[in-house]
DNA sequence: TATGCGTGGAT
DNA sequence: TATCCAAGCAT
């Protein structure tokens, strides 16, 4: 296979089939002289880490509206950033996003570094994001390797080495294939190809611009690539959470620690999450004495464990001021930095806590 | 290198 | 229902 020819076929396909995305400068726009904004590209790439385009779109628009330039984000209140990120997941990204904006403002005069090396030195920017921003925003010949490109490349070359061991080899093959002209479109084209044609299941090989180049299609079953190491099974963890309602309907909330699971986010009080139920833990975890009554359980699936939370609720006549928490009015609950699992817990105890609208919590309320 | 880190949609 | 997995990063 001639890499250069394959790259030309890929770019030609991208010209005809690219998707219009809010952060993307499509080939027709580029023809009209539009250039990519590094801030937009960086923000979208961080949001897109392990996250679908559909989930990112509304968050991207909201962030641009709240903080139009990187200097605005650098000057923002971290708590406001966490609130705006709530629901998108992987909250370390939000903490690093803020740190990165501050570093760009403080160390680079508000201008993003235009090299892979400079970008990778910033918080929350790794191999992939550095290469993507470098190629897409600065037109540099960087080898962009994400999950989509791994799938495309592993099939093109029928790579038998399983991930993640095969990454270095794959990166070299992408570097060899990346053209000097339009490296950003090439990267986006490869990712679009992986997202729409060279899919994990039932790839549409008949429509693929690279089907003549694809070794897996010639000699094996493309769907079986990339090879991957077997994964571990998900353990179950259990715990309890306490939802206290004040006389005016306010809910007692507190802030989690800055690091680790759901770091920097808001929660209702509860026990640690352990492998077995511990009655002593449950008693000790009450934020204050109240007539707690059980009101069912909720289940939430995290990346590496399944959580089953027993929910307790109580109405409190006098709003206790002890502890590190605060009483949040019902009306402003939606705007807090509450991860989805905590919204589920509150909705279990107070079914009308969140406005009824299309969203993940609707299904929960109906069960 | 292996593990911890969210969430929701597709199959 | 169960499983996979989506434009990864930090440690």
> What would the pLDDT profile of A246-278 be if each residue is shown by its tens digit?
988 999 999 999 999 999 999 999 999 998 888
Does residue A1 have a pLDDT over 60?
A: no
- Percent share of chain A, pLDDT over 70: 96
As a rounded value in angstroms, the CA-to-C1' distance for A282 and C7 is 41
As a rounded value in angstroms, the CA-to-C1' distance for A288 and C5 is 41
Does residue A217 have a pLDDT over 90?
A: yes
Does residue A311 have a pLDDT over 80?
A: yes
Please report the pLDDT score of residue A200 as a whole number: 95
Please report the pLDDT score of residue A2 as a whole number: 66
Asked whether residue A151's C-beta has any atom of DNA/RNA strand C within 7 A, the reply is: yes
C1' nearest to CA of A361: which nucleotide? B8
Asked whether residue A147's C-beta has any atom of DNA/RNA strand C within 7 A, the reply is: yes
A47: left (phi over 0), alpha (psi -120 to 50) or beta: alpha
| Distance from C-alpha of A21 to C-alpha of A43, rounded to nearest angstrom | 13
Asked whether residue A334's C-beta has any atom of DNA/RNA strand C within 7 A, the reply is: no
Please report the pLDDT score of residue A4 as a whole number: 82
Domain A3-224: top CATH class: mainly alpha
Asked whether residue A155's C-beta has any atom of DNA/RNA strand C within 7 A, the reply is: no
C1' nearest to CA of A263: which nucleotide? B5
Give the Cβ contact number of residue A147 at 10 Å: 15
Asked whether residue A123's C-beta has any atom of DNA/RNA strand C within 7 A, the reply is: yes
pLDDT grade for A232, boundaries at 50, 70 and 90: confident
Please report the pLDDT score of residue A359 as a whole number: 42
Mean pLDDT of A295-321: 90
Does residue A366 have a pLDDT over 80?
A: no
β-pair partners for A161 = none
Q: What is the location of CATH 1.10.340.30 in chain A?
A: 3-224
Give the mean pLDDT of chain A. 93
pLDDT tens column, A82-119: 999 999 999 999 999 999 999 999 999 999 999 999 99
pLDDT grade for A280, boundaries at 50, 70 and 90: confident
**Maximum CA pair distance of chain A?**
76
Mean pLDDT of A22-29: 97
Q: Looking at the C1' of nucleotide B10, which residue has the nearest alpha carbon? A: A201
Asked whether residue A37's C-beta has any atom of DNA/RNA strand C within 7 A, the reply is: no
Catalytic residue chosen out of the listed positions A45, A102, A150, A267: A45
Decide if A45 is catalytic.
Answer: yes
Any idea what the Cα angle at residue A365 is, between residues A360 and A366, rounded to 5°? 105
- Protein contacts of strand B with Cβ less than 7 Å away: A 50-52, 54-55, 87-92, 164-165, 201, 229, 232, 260-263, 300-304, 339-341, 359-360
Higher model confidence: residue A162 or residue A2? A162
Mean pLDDT of A211-228: 95
C1' nearest to CA of A339: which nucleotide? B6
Q: What is the location of CATH 3.90.79.10 in chain A?
A: 236-366
Asked whether residue A90's C-beta has any atom of DNA/RNA strand C within 7 A, the reply is: yes
pLDDT grade for A363, boundaries at 50, 70 and 90: very low
Distances (CA, A) of A177 to A16, A64, A172, A200, A351: 20, 34, 9, 22, 54
Q: Tell the CATH topology of A236-366.
A: Nucleoside Triphosphate Pyrophosphohydrolase (3.90.79)
SS3 category, A40: helix
Q: Looking at the C1' of nucleotide C7, which residue has the nearest alpha carbon? A: A48
Does residue A355 have a pLDDT over 80?
A: no
pLDDT grade for A356, boundaries at 50, 70 and 90: low
């Amino acid at each position: 296979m001639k890499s250069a020819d394959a790259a030309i076929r890929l770019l030609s396909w991208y010209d005809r089939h690219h998707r219009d995305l809010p952060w993307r400068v499509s080939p027709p726009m580029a023809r009209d002289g539009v250039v990519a904004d590094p801030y937009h590209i960086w923000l979208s790439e961080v949001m897109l880490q392990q996250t679908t385009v559909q989930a990112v779109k509304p968050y991207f628009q909201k962030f641009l509206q709240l903080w139009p330039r990187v200097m605005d984000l650098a000057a923002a209140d971290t708590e406001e950033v966490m609130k705006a990120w709530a629901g998108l997941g992987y909250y370390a990204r939000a903490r690093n996003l803020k740190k990165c904006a501050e570093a760009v403002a403080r160390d680079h005069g508000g201008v993003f570094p235009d090299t892979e090396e400079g970008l990778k030195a910033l918080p929350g920017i790794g191999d992939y994001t550095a290469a993507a921003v470098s190629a897409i925003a600065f037109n540099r010949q960087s080898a962009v390797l994400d999950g989509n490109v791994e799938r495309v490349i592993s099939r093109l070359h029928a790579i038998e080495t399983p991930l993640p061991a095969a990454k270095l080899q794959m990166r070299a093959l992408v570097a060899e294939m990346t053209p000097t002209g339009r490296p950003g479109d090439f990267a986006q084209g490869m990712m679009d190809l992986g997202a729409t044609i060279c899919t994990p299941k039932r790839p549409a090989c008949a429509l693929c611009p690279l089907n003549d180049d694809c070794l897996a299609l010639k000699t094996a079953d493309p769907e079986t690539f990339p090879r991957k190491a077997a994964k571990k099974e998900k353990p179950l963890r259990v715990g309890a959470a306490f939802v206290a309602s004040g006389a005016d309907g306010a809910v007692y909330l507190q802030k989690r620690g800055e690091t680790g699971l759901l770091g920097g986010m808001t929660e209702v009080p509860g026990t640690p999450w352990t492998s077995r139920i511990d009655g002593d833990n449950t008693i000790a975890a009450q934020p204050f004495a109240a007539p707690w009554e059980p009101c069912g359980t909720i289940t939430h699936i995290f990346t590496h464990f399944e959580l089953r939370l027993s929910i307790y609720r109580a109405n409190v006549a006098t709003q206790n001021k002890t502890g590190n928490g605060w009483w949040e009015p019902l009306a402003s609950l939606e705007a807090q930095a509450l991860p989805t699992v905590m919204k589920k817990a509150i909705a279990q105890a107070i079914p009308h806590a969140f406005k009824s609208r299309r969203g993940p919590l609707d299904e929960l309320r109906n069960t």
